[in-house]
Structure 1
Amino acid sequence: METISNMAIGEAFLSAFLQVLFDRLASNEFVGLLCGRKYDDMLDKLKVTLLTVTTLLHDAEDKQFHNHAVQKWLHMTKDALYDAEDMLDELASEALACKIAAESQATTNKPICRGIEHKLVKIIERLELIARYKNVLGLKENVGGRLFGFRNRLPTTSLVDESCVYGRSCDKEEIIRVLLCDEPTSSKVGVVPIVGMSGIGKTTLAQLVYNDDRVDEHFDLRIWMFVSDHFDAVRVTKTILESVTTGKVDLDDLNLLQVCLKEKLAGKRFLLVLDDVWNKRNNDWDLLWIPLKSGKSGSKIIVTTQNNDVASSMGTVRAHNLRGLSFEDCWLLFRSQAFENRIVDVNFEAIGKEIVKRCDGLPLAVKRFGILLHTRMEEDEWKDILSRKIWDLPDDESNILQTLRLSYNHLPAHLKPCFAYCSLFPMEFEFDRDSVVLLWMAEGFLEQPKGNKKLEAVGCELEDKMKDSEAFEKARHSSYIRHQREVTTRFESFSRLEYLRTFLSFDPTDGIGVSYLANKVPCDLLPRLRYLRVLSFNACRITGLPDTIGDLKTSTLPDSISLLCNLQTLLLVECRSLTKLPEEMGNLTSLRHLHITGSRLKEMPPRMCRLKNLQTLSEFMVCRDSGWGIRDLRDMLQLKGSLLISGLQNVVNFVAAMEANMKGKEELDHLRNLDDSRNERVEMVVLEMLQPHKNIKGVTIKDYGGTRFPGWIESPLFSNIVVLKLSDCKKCMQLPALGQLPSLKDLIVEGMEGIKSIGPEFYGDCNSPILPFRHWRL
């Protein structure tokens, strides 16, 4: 049995994935690539067929856990949809390859997208066949986006069996402390949000608080309201009024309802629980808030929700984020349900604890499994439950999945594929925000921004909304995790994954920080992966990348490596044996992020200037034989983050340094220059020509051979510099007037043997009340 948190989504990912397909078919980039290719009619027919399948998905996703035939139908649909996107990948890739070839002035007589019409016809036929199964399976069209699981969802009440509650004493006391606090605030009616995922125990906690004797004595009125998905001011006002009057209210006019509620609450200190609030419309909440404000100062409203936006917008105090139970509390809860008063057999206990571990601290799951196993007296029955996938469990008895899926189903459509994608990572993997955003971007999950906003910025905003989320699965993305013994045949299954987009190698720390990923894998595996968008060999012992990567049609472009035209991210961090990149790297024009820190590269390939979309370039090496290569930085105007330029001693002409256009890189945060030159005059001019944009926040200069630093480093124009490191510049005899840099906080000066004293000019204006730098080392 897989962990509960990874099983709550299932094939529900497909409806969101379909939206990604539609967005791609309609995108300006895709339409532009295929302009004049005469596939408009076929693609329009594909859109219509996809729309037909879409109308069935909501109902199918709801029925799959009760109907194995529907589950198989969804698998068929999933395969067909992925094949459709793979076909679009092939279509766009070849169109892009032809565009690159034209820009390279390469000649090709091969027709673009050979056989694509046949593939389109076959996929459309498959999808049409899939759609015709609707009558056999009883699938309904136009469900209208009904949120799954609400059909049988019963409203909650204020009653609770406290004997079945474990591990919530501290949470209860914290909420009660806030409720009983009568300290003056900006609002005389306080709103206390309780936030957590489905099944975590928000309602149970609210029930415990609601029924506490101290709470009962403190408030004149207590009201319980189950809100669920539909937050409507008329319905909620009417239900609250009926609770206050303990009778049926026949009014439907909002004005009359609010006037009556205001009169009933006036001068009374009340506690209102709004349980299970999924969303709210600002206007409805504002309307409801008006009569509630008539209550006596110290009145409180508890809102339980899974939505952080709801909590932040409705709450007047900090939200209480409810976490999972400890294993010990989960075990006590499981024992109370599964064994009751029976003596616990050692074997049953061992199996039960394994089941509890897989519940991820969710009390709902623990309780349901306990109830499910209560009547099963055979050890084999317990082992069977442990080994089964959650969707194979009898849902009418466990009812776990239906509840857990609510968290996913309420996500906005554009967040669902991002949410689901995260499951490709290993358990316990700590997500790095920037890396995950790059993966989402490579998959086409991010909506194209308007104006000058970067796609990466859109991804960061989505990640902020999903930082507490977990996800599901699909195997067009593969991660490799080294085990104790590596067997090359482990990768044989990859040989069929022609359309693989993401290849990541994960490696636990092994003491020397390198991977035992076989050197032959890059050569044997990568030539088959023609549509890669993200490639990571971080910390791997590879000595080079093969020229055969992306070997589509070798006669189309000068080098086969250049045909990996979809690649957006290349991660080669700590590849300590890597000494050379492919000669035709410059043809990877889709590349946006190149991380090569920790390698032994001696030079950059020629024509890197064509990588105009690069936003991350961790290091640029200037080789001995081609000092003019630094000019390749000229058009990389989107570079951001940190850039290390090494081998500056090889730049023998200041014109080349000037043409690197460092002034034009507005988003670059940190510039590091490494040198080992003995030509003092040339080096001083070169470093002067490498003046960055005034937005730069950090500068490192190491092994500089000049006697004085460039004038720009002490210019007031560079008021944004926060960090400055001057290291091993042994010939420099004087430090620049760094007191002119008002934002400088961290100054590191080391290995400066030529400096004998520091004059007053170093400190700038001595009359200024602001200390120029708070931390510095000399």
Structure 2
Amino acid sequence: MAESFVFDIADSLLGKLASYAYQEASKAYGVYEDLQEIKDTLSIVRGLLLDAEEKKDQKHGLREWLRQIQNICTNAEDVLDGFECQKMHKQVVEASGSTRMKVQHFFSSSNSLAFRFKMARQIKDIKGRLDKVAADGAKFSLATMSLDPGIIVQRREITHSHIDSLDVIGRENEREEIVKLLMQPHPQGDGVGDKSLCVIPIVGIGGLGKTTLAKLVFNDKRMDQLFQLKMWVCISDDFDIRQIMIKIINSASASAPTTALAHQENISNFDIEQLQSRLRYKLSGQKFLLVLDDIWNDDRAKWLQLKDLIKGGAIGSKIIATTRSNSIATMMGTFPSYVLEGLSPQNCLSLFVKWAFKDGEEEKYPNLVEIGKEIVRKCRGVPLAVRTLGSSLFSKFDLNKWIFVRDSEIWNLKQNKDDILPALKLSYDQMPSHLRHCFTYFSLYPKDFGFTSVQITKLWVALGLLQPQDGNQKLENIARDYIDELHSRSFLQEFEDFGHFYYFKVHDLVHDLALYVANDECVVVDTHTRNISEQVRHFSIVENGSLDSALFPKSTSVRTILFPIEGVGLESESMLDTWVLRYKYLRILDLSDSSFETLPNSITKLKHLRVLNLSNNCKIKRLPHSICNLQILQVLSLSGCMQFESLPKELGKLISLRQLYITTKQSVLSQNVFANLTNLQTLSFEYCDSLELLFDGVQLTSLETLIVRSCGSLQSLPSYILPRLEALLVIDCKSLDLSPPENHTLQNPTRIWKMTFLHLQNKIPWLWTLPEWIEGVAETLQTLILINLYELSKLPECLTRMTRLKMLHIAGCPRLDYLPSGMQHLTALDDLTINGCPDLCRQCQPHSGEYWPMISHIKGVSIGEPGVEEPSIREPGVEEPQEGGVSESLFSNTDQLPYLW
């Protein structure tokens, strides 16, 4: 059953009701008392929600009660959004100074008097509905629980150390690698105290076989020779120091000689002082191996407390810790984390056959084995998934049942408590409530989709999912923190940090989990979709031909419409009209890759719209002027709209715009377009062949990212009016001079830009070295990408002063044959790729090249073959084996740019 996110929504609503801005607005429009009563009632209800979440499967009607509260809270957020819409509209009217506009505003439904009556009516309706539902909750006998939104649910069962190695397939190499680590001395040298206690973390997603691998190592005969004492402790419940001490003592006693067992004491009643004394006695002078299985604790103070209690063993004692969290592994480990990978396809098939057939039985059913090979692919190397699907087909020889399993999503199949989805859901249940809610929206995208942090942040911001800890925290930074935590919990893979943004994918099985928990909230529409619930709030369309108007819900609850797959878009203007008129509370309308000539004027009714994506529309020529009334619109994309003629003259009314992506046939853009866009953070010009001038002197004091691609007539960049610029991408601009204008001198360039990301690529003429202003960003730059700059022959000496540089990618620069001396000083640089630079590649060859001593300290190095001039460029997300494990630049394929940013 899908999750309910009513706690998150109620919490968010209470935060808004308590904010100064909403309280002042409610006083101004005479609805303060009603909103305070809603706040008081909701505060009481919120205290019951956690108990309701836990009991929703046991008590009849409780799910419906939760659904009603969620609907009321969602409707209330829509009403409160009206305050923001009104505020922005009033701000635009006052700033315009236009008498005509003020008269129109007076006679519209947006004037203060009409707005007051409308808000009062809607808020009284919300209040009445909430009071009724709150009263109905009394019949469920719910208890007020702690308001910590992290709901703790049942964990996996306690593990033990026994294993039959004959039952394990495909972990021999991993066992040998861990055994070798156990045989190594402490990385800092053997000694006393902390230095005698090594911790080797094994990390990976649920079901990958971390515990199985630990068991294989624990029971290896070499361990009996290496360690005097072996102990196995499962920590899957709360990290209670007292209980862990008891488990360690009991495990130590159990592994002692038989004669000692007769003298075991009942220690469950010992106080903490007696326990620590007994623990030290058990471990004193013993070289021990301790397995701490299934660690969830991320409190470093607790870990240090436990570590202090168990570090009294002999020199060479070791701990193996299994965890799903990279951050926990880093916190505990003294060795680098051992990141467990999936099984090979061959081993997965062997394991599947073992669970699906009796010994030798598979030989009778070669047709089923062939289908089994296809089933195994969806398991993506995760043994528990293989076991789950294999065991579900045990002794079933009906071809249709095998085909059903092959063609079904795992989340649609029956799951026992020890199967893969319950195992993965443990990780999900441990996340904070706000993070669980954000995670579900990965379900709107297809499997193997390549995400960027910029892209998913747009969605989270538009839906109001990000929760700042203080008023000054940037939403983008909060989103990065959320993504960091998801990565730490092993939910993300193929993760690459490009400094200004992340690129990653979601593991297929984790995607199945997202579908499972979001089923009532989100839906993916394809040609097989026959019904969409009226409760659905977010849908994405992934196949052309799946747009039957009768299919889509008629309720106004829809908040998100996406077309996430390249080439799949909307062609029906009548369908667009229906959506715009029906879903008046839309937050996100993504119509990328669509093909209609214009938007309907009724777009102005989408007062709550935050994101409007029209990218890669091959027919659209203009926007209706009514679009300028969407005062809380945050993202507008016209990237790749090759027929687009000109921007609306009053686009500057969109004062909430944070991101603007433009393709236009205009040669000059009006100052009015940018003058009032004081919140603009990202600005992109792509395929603007006629564009000669940017901004025309307008100061863009909030702009952080500037993208300029395929603007063949553009001659210069206005660096002096971009004081906060952090990321610059310049690609295929044949007339562009990257030097500052003649009448402008960079007297103090470090105050001009705070750049962390620079990407230069293709047809940038006369660029034999990087522009002089690179000196001014040497102390801040973290990512430098140079691709297909055929004239580039020299890198600046200031490169060696870029002490914050983490990534340097150089590809397709055949004249470049020189690295500045002092590259060894770039201690932060951990990702270096050089390819398609014949002489430079020769000089950087591992161990033999003259530059190798300067770059050998870098963690990830990928050097192309000497003498090969053309770079080997992959598309984003396509893995290719590389020396040092580093892939080519994500931006090698520039057709992906609209989706990346």
User: Which bin holds the TM-score, normalised by the shorter protein?
Assistant: 0.7 to 0.9
Q: Give 2:881's aligned residue.
A: none
Alignment match, 1:37? 29
Change (3 A) 1:685 1:79: closer
Paired with 2:334 and 2:654, the residues of 1 have a C-alpha distance of: 52
Contact 1:270–1:300 under 8 Å retained in 2 = yes
How far apart, CA to CA, are the structure 1 residues paired with 2:573 and 2:333?
A: 56
SS of the residue corresponding to residue 679 of structure 2 reads: coil
1:423 correspondence with 2:443: yes
Deviations 1:707-736 (A, max 9, x none): 999xx957965766978999999xxxxx9x
8 Å CA contact retained: 1:714, 1:740: no
- Give a deviation string over 1:59-86, Cα, whole Å, max 9, x none: 4434455677544554444444433333
The question of 1:82 aligning with 2:77 is answered: no
Does structure 1 residue 175 correspond to structure 2 residue 139? no
Q: Deviations over 1:719-778 (max 9, x none)?
A: 66978999999xxxxx9x99786679999999xxxxxxxxxxxxxxxx99899xx9899x
Tell me if the contact between 2:701 and 2:721 (Cα under 8 Å) persists in the aligned partners: no
Q: Partners of 1:203 and 1:301 in 2: how far apart?
A: 14
Q: CA deviation at 1:390?
A: 7.6
Match status 1:318 vs 2:336: yes
Q: Which residue of 2 aligns with 1:505?
A: 563
3-state SS in 2 of match to 1:175? helix
1:197 equivalenced with 2:255 (yes/no): no
Unaligned runs of 5+ in 1: 1-6, 652-656, 730-734, 751-766
Q: Deviations over 1:10-52 (max 9, x none)?
A: 3154433433333343345555655523333333333334334
Is it true that 1:100 corresponds to 2:92 in the alignment? yes
Question: Map of 1:726-737 to 2, 5 A cutoff?
Answer: none
Partner amino acid, structure 2, of 1:156: T
CA distance in 2, matches of 1:740, 1:353: 55
Q: CA separation in 2, counterparts of 1:19 and 1:588?
A: 29
| More off after superposition, 24-33 vs 256-265 | 24-33
Q: Determine if the alignment matches structure 1 residue 466 to structure 2 residue 486.
A: yes
Paired amino acid for 1:257: L
Cα separation, partners in 2 of 1:261 and 1:431, compared to 1, 3 Å: same
| 2:817 alignment partner in structure 1 | none
Superposition deviation, residue 172 in structure 1: 2.4
Q: Bigger shift: 570-579 or 13-22?
A: 13-22
Q: Which residue of 2 aligns with 1:582?
A: 648
Equivalent residue of 1:236, what SS? helix
Instruction: Output the CA distance in 2 between the equivalents of 1:585 and 1:23.
Output: 32
Which letter does structure 2 place at the counterpart of 1:154? E
Q: Write the distance in 2 (CA, Å) between the matches of 1:196 and 1:122.
A: 49
1:392 is displaced (CA, Å) by 8.4
Alignment of 1:478-493 (within 5 A): 478-483=539-544, 486=545, 489-490=547-548
Identify the residue that residue 217 of structure 1 maps to in structure 2.
225
How big is the shift at 1:286?
Answer: 2.0
Distance in 2, matches of 1:374 and 1:575, equals: 54
C-alpha distance in 2 between matches for 1:204 and 1:378: 32
Asked whether the equivalents of residues 58 and 146 of structure 1 are also in contact (C-alpha less than 8 Å), the reply is yes
Match of 2:476 in 1: 456
Alpha carbons of structure 1 residues 237 and 335: separation in structure 2 relative to 1, 3 Å = same
> Structure 2 residue aligned with 1:267, among 278, 285, 289?
285
The amino acid across from 2:424 in the alignment is: L
Check if 1:284 corresponds to 2:302. Answer: yes
Identity %: 29
Match of 2:721 in 1: 662
CA distance in 2, matches of 1:163, 1:699: 53
1:639-698: CA deviation from partner (whole Å, max 9, x where unpaired): 3344579698899xxxxx99x952534535457896979xx9xx9996535978254575
State the match for 1:732 in structure 2. Answer: none
Structure 2 distance, partners of 1:350, 1:726, is: 45
Is the 2:689–2:710 contact (alpha carbons within 8 Å) kept by the matching residues of 1?
Answer: no
* Partner SS, residue 604 of structure 2: coil
> Counterpart amino acid of 2:311?
K
Q: C-alpha deviations, 1:190-228, integer Å up to 9, x for none?
A: 111122233333222222221222223321111111212
Q: Secondary structure at the match of 1:664?
A: coil
Quote the offset at 1:315 in angstroms.
Answer: 0.8
Gaps of 5+ in 2: 190-194, 255-263, 492-509, 523-536, 609-623, 803-807, 814-819, 825-833, 841-868, 870-901
Q: TM-score, normalised to structure 2's length?
A: 0.67
1:551 to 585, 588, 605: 605
The structural deviation recorded for 1:612 is 1.0
Whether 2:4 is the aligned partner of 1:22: answer: no
Shift of 1:361: 4.7
Matched with 2:42 is 50
Root-mean-square deviation (CA, aligned residues, Å) is 5.2
Counterpart amino acid of residue 200 in structure 1: L
In 1, the alpha carbon distance for the partners of 2:203 and 2:645 equals 51
Shift of 1:245: 3.0
Work out whether residues 585 and 607 of structure 2, in 8 Å CA contact, stay in contact via their aligned partners in 1. Answer: no
Separation (CA, whole Å) in 1 of partners of 2:761 and 2:357: 69
Other-structure match for 1:294 = 312
Deviation of 1:307 (Å): 2.2
Q: Distance in 2 between matches of 1:502 and 1:308?
A: 32
Q: What is the match of residue 849 of structure 2?
A: none
Q: 2:462 aligns with which of 420, 427, 442?
A: 442
Q: Residue 617 of structure 1 aligns with which residue?
A: 683
Amino acid at match of 1:224: W
SS in 2 for 1:297: coil
Greater mean alpha carbon deviation, residues 84-93 or residues 637-646: 637-646
Moved more, 292-301 or 54-63: 54-63
Cα deviation 1:491-550 (Å, max 9, x = unaligned): 5656847565444323346xxxx9675577666645665555545444544555555423
- The alpha-carbon distance between structure 1 residues 204 and 715, as it changes in their structure 2 partners (threshold 3 A), is closer
For the 8 Å contact 2:199–2:335, the answer to whether it is kept is yes
Which stretch of the first structure deviates more once superposed, 30-39 or 195-204? 30-39
Return the letter of the residue paired with 1:308: N
Q: Shift in Å at residue 615 of structure 1?
A: 0.7
Match of 1:112 among 107, 110, 115: 115
Higher mean displacement: 666-675 or 117-126: 666-675
Give, as a single letter, the amino acid of the residue that structure 2 aligns with 1:219: F
Query: Looking at both structures, which has the greater relative contact order when contacts are Cα pairs under 8 Å and sequence separation is at least 6?
Result: 1
Contact 1:188 1:298 in 2 (8 A): yes
- Indicate how the Cα distance of structure 1 residues 258 and 367 shifts in structure 2: closer, same or farther if over 3 A, else same: same
2-side partners of 1:701 and 1:351: how far apart?
Answer: 46
SS of residue matched to 1:448? coil
Query: Aligned equivalents of 1:701 and 1:327: distance in 2?
Result: 38
In 2, are the aligned partners of 1:612 and 1:636 still within 8 Å (CA)? yes
Does the 8 Å CA contact 2:586/2:606 hold for their aligned counterparts?
no
Aligned to 1:639: 704
Superimposed CA distance per residue, residues 450-487 of structure 1 (whole angstroms, 9 cap, x where no aligned partner): 4765321221222122134243432333323243xx46
CA–CA distance in structure 2, aligned partners of residues 392 and 664 of structure 1: 52
User: Counterpart in 2 of 1:761?
Assistant: none
- Which string of whole-angstrom CA distances, capped at 9 and with x for unpartnered residues, describes residues 267-299 of structure 1? 221111111211143333222222422212221
- How many angstroms apart in 2 are the aligned matches of 1:546 and 1:648? 33
Query: Between Structure 1 and Structure 2, how many residues are aligned?
Result: 728
